[in-house]
Structure formats: C-alpha cells, structure tokens
Amino acid sequence: MPKRKNTFSSWPRRLAQRAVHAGWAWAQRTGSVTAEHPGRFRFGAMGTGTRLAFPLGTVFGEPWIRIGAHCIVGEQVTLTAGLMPGLDLGPEPILRIGDGVVLGRGSHVIADTTVIIGSDCYFGPYVYVTSTNHSYDDPHEPIGKQWPRMEPVEIGPGCWIGTGAVILPGARVGRNVVVAAGAVVRGEVPDHCVVAGAPARVVRRWTPDEGWQPPLRTPPPVPIPDGTTPDQLRALSELDEESVARLAELDEEGAARLARSDANGTARLAEVERGA
C-alpha cells in the first residue's frame, strides 16, 4: 500500500510545538497568583513565597480566605469560602491555611463554615475537604433541594493527606497524621497515627511508651549527613553493590571522618574499597 503523504512536514510541526509549549509556559508564569501579583483576587491574607498555579480552579469568597507563607497550590485547585460568591461572611476568616502547605492538583477545599489547615500539611492530588454535606431527612424532597448540614473542619499541622482522600464535615484530624489514599475521614482522629478506609479507621499509631504499633515493617530512611557534598554523593553512586556492602562494614565514625575530610573524601573511600 502506498504511504500517506505527510502534508504537515516535521520542521513546521516542531516549530509549532515549541511555540505552543513556550506560550503555555508563559501563560502559567503570568497567570499564577502570588501576594505580589494577585490579579483580580483579593485574599484576606497571603504570605510571602506562596503561589497558586495557573490554571486555577474555582475561587470565590477570597476576602475570607487566609493563606500562609511558602504554600504551593497546584493547578485546578478549588478554594471557596461561603455557599456562593458575593456573600458577607462577617469579620472573621472562614478558610485558614497555615505556612508551608501543599495542595495537590485538582484538590477542593470547600469552606461554607470554618475550615482550618495547619502548617506543613501536604495534600496529594484530588483531595476533597468540605465543611458541608447534603441532608436527606425529607424522603419526599430532592436531596439537592434540602438544606445542607455544616460543621467546622480542622486538620492539624504536619499531616499527609493521600491522593483522593475525602475529609468530611466535623472532622478533626490531629497532628502528624497520615491519611491513606482514598480514605473517607469523619469525626476525631488522634495525633501521630495512620488512618485508612471508608470510613477511615486507625491502622497504626505512635505513643511515647510503645512507639509505632503495629511496628513499622521497614527501617526509617537514613538522612544524608550534614556537610556531604555533591561530589561525595556522585562518587557513592558509582560504587557497585559489593563495594557498598564493604563500606557498610567499616567503622561508622571512621568512615564519616574520612568522607568529610575534604571534598574528595567519598572518592577516596571508593578507591580504598576498589583496592581492597
């Protein structure tokens, strides 16, 4: 069979593609919302270093929304205060977001009454937080026409909220809580625990006396020591598994001294192991 002729040759296509990508990157930079460049939005407060990525989701009631410093709000994130735009919600903020919060792409935070998100919380994509739920008391009236129930929501600092989780009205999530992906949270959640399921329940919890129960299945990650240089990390990455195992057998303190002695410390470690 004869090949179809490509009427749109490769070089015009590449040029057009570059132009589209460059234009979209410009739109993302220009359309993002910061305290210095809020555009049409007038938030009750927005801290330094905070950025709402473009394109935004639905945003209204922003005079009653306060966002802390160094927050990252992903694309298509909805932030609303009040049942609808144009309402006077009084002197106090309705939606309060602490410092260092990350809201993943496509998430929704619906604050028809008070919603508080503590500092350093990280949300995966498509998380749904709401202070309002539909009521269905009257079996003869369409559910969408019945007056909803509203209860405040509070998420403590340092939490991780997994992809697709739902935080329902009245939920009070403690400090440093992991909410598993897809969990549906209602009611009280204690500090330092992991919750999963629908409805969510505690599947692991930390206490000062017993530590994590049930015990963690994997050892905690080992942080990179202070003072480690990029050259040292690159040298380590070049070692094979046998050399890494030999390094692990060395006296930890002596190895650390050698590695930090100068910029080539780790390379010297690698040379020692290669010659062993």
Phi, psi of 102 (to 5 degrees): -120, 125
Phi, psi of 154 (to 5 degrees): -140, 130
DSSP category for residue 223: P
Cα–Cα–Cα angle for 188, 195, 217, rounded to 5 degrees: 145
Count of H-run helices and E-run strands, the chain: 5, 24
* Residues in a beta bridge with 218: none
So which residues are the catalytic ones? Answer: 134
Asked if 178 and 158 touch (Cβ cutoff 8 Å), the reply is no
Encoded tokens for 6: 């490509």
Tell me which amino acid residue 107 is. Answer: S
Give DSSP secondary structure letters for 145-194: GSPPEE--EEE-TT-EE-TT-EE-TT-EE-SS-EE-TT-EE-SEE-SSEE
Q: Report the candidate in 222, 219, 192, 215 with the shortest Cα–Cα distance to residue 205.
A: 192
